[in-house]
A and B are shown apart, each in its own frame.
Chain A
């Protein structure tokens, strides 16, 4: 191979040899220097700009990270050492923030009971329980409400001016209780709204809504409970039916006297009779999600079958699209073909369409009675009804969606192969096919093997391909959770979100299992790329 390239095998460039003194001029062309200065200047000004809100909100940790990251970047580009880092850093910064962090965060949730009913903190749960239990005191009056303050609208103490609808009498309420106002001191509209009151500033809706949080939490104590607001123009006398008692760490129902004690192991308030309050909180559950995935029959049982099909799907999706894409690319890789550019545009069209839209269209085309495919072919196959036909159908859809991609990549790869290599085989008089096999294909494979691996990885987890077409169908009558075209990821998705709400923690645990499988397979195939790489190293 290397001899054909016309030169001896050479070593890679040294990574970090210190620049010799007599080569100082390396990398110091005026334009290059100017670009460097401008970019680094922008980086610094960006960092300064970003620092202000952090300092303002006293996010000292965030500020520290920002300073450290900026310093690191400046160091990397000002020192002559660490050349690879100069090329890797820009992308890595984004990768760490927007990909690595979400992945690690998700992996972290695998050890919690995070999901519906257990999303927030214990404090959140207590607030939710109390808020949900506030009911109107039976037979109490519904008042018209005006929000007022003593003094400045933005900072003065809040006062509720409430009007009894029957008597039109106005009372002022604050944290200490209610006090009736003399009729002469207030101006009341027919609907009961107070427009002016001596000694108080009546707020406009805009002013009041700026203090929304205070108003929602504001309660004027009364004998039967407390007067609370409903929005900004009505008030009612309400009473919380359930209260949290910090001393016993439990919730108590004020009317029935029943108590629910906090169980920090499962993140729920549990009564003596085993009844759980719906509002729970997020707690650490250790490896419970992992053991559940391994021991639950409905998950562990069909796992192997799904895994095998998952591999077949990923291999066929990648393999067929590659073969077809490459074949067409090779066919068009000749300047003697007229209309080449037109062909290329038309061939790229399937890829240019939004894939989720086309998946939905294909799903319709496979319809038994109304679908285009059965109509064109004059057959009556229930494509998604049988395991085999459904699998063929989804792979066919993948082929259609994916081959333009492979076509494009192969076209690019073919162009990048130095022309004289191909010419050389022609001079040698080798047959077209032989030349292709001996020169073009190996070079193509060098360029494309990494891509095929990552394409395989993508298809292994190709959620949309299944979810938007068959949704996993067909399902055997005695097992409605695992369909013939289900991939591990769609199956996980259904387990996690399809029933009794979202179970993020559990889904994350299964994702980690899937991840490990794909990672092992990819790592093994990745090792094989080393030999190809070494051809040139």
Chain B
């Protein structure tokens, strides 16, 4: 028994405590979402009533279904493309030695440190022209939004992935190179499968980051049906002074669904033994 506690039991204890910490605020949100009066001044942690009114109002009377679709499409495509772009870049940074490599890495970090709230002016400047010339990529379009998000694709994710590539022994690709594989074959056939857990993690992080992005989307998507979840939900509480917190909380909970879905889907890539097997092979 003590052996079990030492080897497995403590793990459960840590997990349970972590879960409790994670869930207490969420329970609070759930309780507000189920409260038909929908106010956060109700301090009860446990739901006092079970009414779906907030949910039905949210789905029936707001553009929530549209927002949901927009968010899933934009975040899905943008994160997939962004993971691919940063996986490519991270490969070059980790495996290749070229002039300007470290400067490039550092610049990637520094660019994203510049405060974003001032960038809105430049974005308007740019997209006013784009909207005139190519309306398909202008304001209120999926593609414009996705491309804008891809601007940040090389940011954090490249750093994250480069770190992981660095942990994979170089002699793996060296031997493949000796065997006559081209650089693209090494990348697609050998490295990418090895880092698939981290591709999944990065994809999830990019998905979450995109679906929750608010500042840029707020000025970019003004057409009612083009809004994303974050913008639409914020509109529920910011548009008027009477706080619609019940509906807002209900929306917040529903927003988590696609994310959890993506996580469940990607979790099978985050399984043990995968990389170990590959290295052995």
Contact = CB atoms under 8 A, between A and B. Distances in A.
Interface of A: 5-7, 10, 12-16, 23, 25-29, 32, 50, 53-54, 57, 59, 83-85, 87-88, 90-92, 94-95, 97-103, 105-107, 109, 324, 327-328, 331-337, 341, 343-358, 360-362, 364-365, 370-372, 375-376, 400, 403-405, 407-409, 411-413, 415-420, 443, 446-451, 453-455, 457-458, 460-461, 463, 489, 492-493, 504, 507-508, 511, 514-515, 518-519, 522-523, 526, 530, 532-533, 536-537
A102 B122 contact: yes
Interface-centre pick from B108, B109, B134 (highest chain A CB count, 10 A): B109
B170 A352 contact: no
Contacts of B10: 331
Given A351-B208, A356-B230, A370-B41, A88 B28 contact: no
A405 B25 contact: no
B255 A354 contact: yes
Interface in B186-214: 187, 194-195, 197-198, 200-202, 204-205, 208, 211-212, 214
A385 B9 CA distance: 41
A419 B275 contact: yes
Contacts of B264: 345
B60 interface: no
B14 A350 contact: no
B163 interface: yes
Contact of A454 (B156, B234, B255, B275): B156
A23 B11 CA distance: 52
Interface string B142-176: 00000110111111101110111011111101100
Contact of A337 (B12, B152, B164, B249): B12
9 contacts: A94-B147, A94-B154, A337-B8, A345-B267, A361-B29, A365-B25, A447-B163, A451-B159, A515-B113
A106 B119 contact: yes
A98 B150 contact: yes
B151 A99 contact: yes
Given A10-B171, A102-B119, A492-B115, A416 B150 contact: no
The 5 closest A-B pairs by CB, nearest first: A98-B151, A419-B276, A27-B182, A412-B201, A102-B122
A419 B273 contact: yes
Given A417-B167, A451-B163, A350 B22 contact: yes
A371 to B, nearest CB: 7
Nearest to B28: A372
A91 B26 contact: no
Contact of A408 (B102, B204, B275): B204
Interface in B242-267: 248-249, 252-253, 255-256, 259-260, 263-264, 267
B270 interface: yes
Contacts, number: 358
B280 interface: yes
Report whether over half of chain A's contact residues are helix, strand or loop; otherwise say mixed: helix
Given A53-B134, A54-B133, A362-B25, A346 B19 contact: yes
A411 B15 CA distance: 13
Contacts of B37: none
Contact of A409 (B23, B160, B273): B160
Nearest to A502: B121
B106 A523 contact: yes
Nearest to B273: A419
A460 B177 contact: no
A94 B15 contact: no
A451 B163 CA distance: 8
B109 A457 contact: yes
A138 to B, nearest CB: 40
B170 A91 contact: no
A415 B201 CA distance: 11
A29 B168 CA distance: 25
B279 interface: yes
B173 A50 contact: no
B113 A461 contact: yes
B43 to A, nearest CB: 5
Given A94-B151, A371-B43, A29 B185 contact: yes
Interface string B103-135: 011101111111111110111011000001110
Contacts of B101: 84
A328 B16 CA distance: 10
B4 to A, nearest CB: 9
B15 A370 contact: no
A91 B167 contact: no
A489 B115 contact: yes
Given A91-B89, A504-B121, A345 B263 contact: yes
Contacts of A364: 40
A370 B43 contact: yes
Contacts of B147: 94, 97-98
Given A26-B180, A349-B256, A460-B113, A91 B164 contact: no
A27 to B, nearest CB: 3
A94 B133 contact: no
Given A350-B25, A354-B252, A457-B109, A408 B118 contact: no
A152 to B, nearest CB: 26
Contacts of B162: 450
Contacts of B187: 87
B45 interface: yes
A446 B168 CA distance: 11
A15 B154 contact: no
Given A348-B260, A350-B25, A94 B85 contact: yes
Interface-centre pick from A87, A101, A511 (highest chain B CB count, 10 A): A87
A454 B109 contact: yes
B240 to A, nearest CB: 15
Nearest to B15: A343
Contacts of A415: 197-198, 270-272, 274-275
B95 A13 contact: yes
Contacts of A409: 160, 201, 205
Contact of A400 (B21, B132, B181, B233): B21
Contact of A457 (B15, B113, B126, B185): B113
B214 to A, nearest CB: 5
Contacts of B15: 328, 331-332, 337, 343, 347
A454 B25 contact: no
Given A27-B182, A370-B41, A409-B160, A91 B154 contact: yes
A509 to B, nearest CB: 11
Contacts of A522: 106, 109-110, 113
B95 A450 contact: no
Given A84-B96, A334-B11, A371-B43, A105 B121 contact: yes
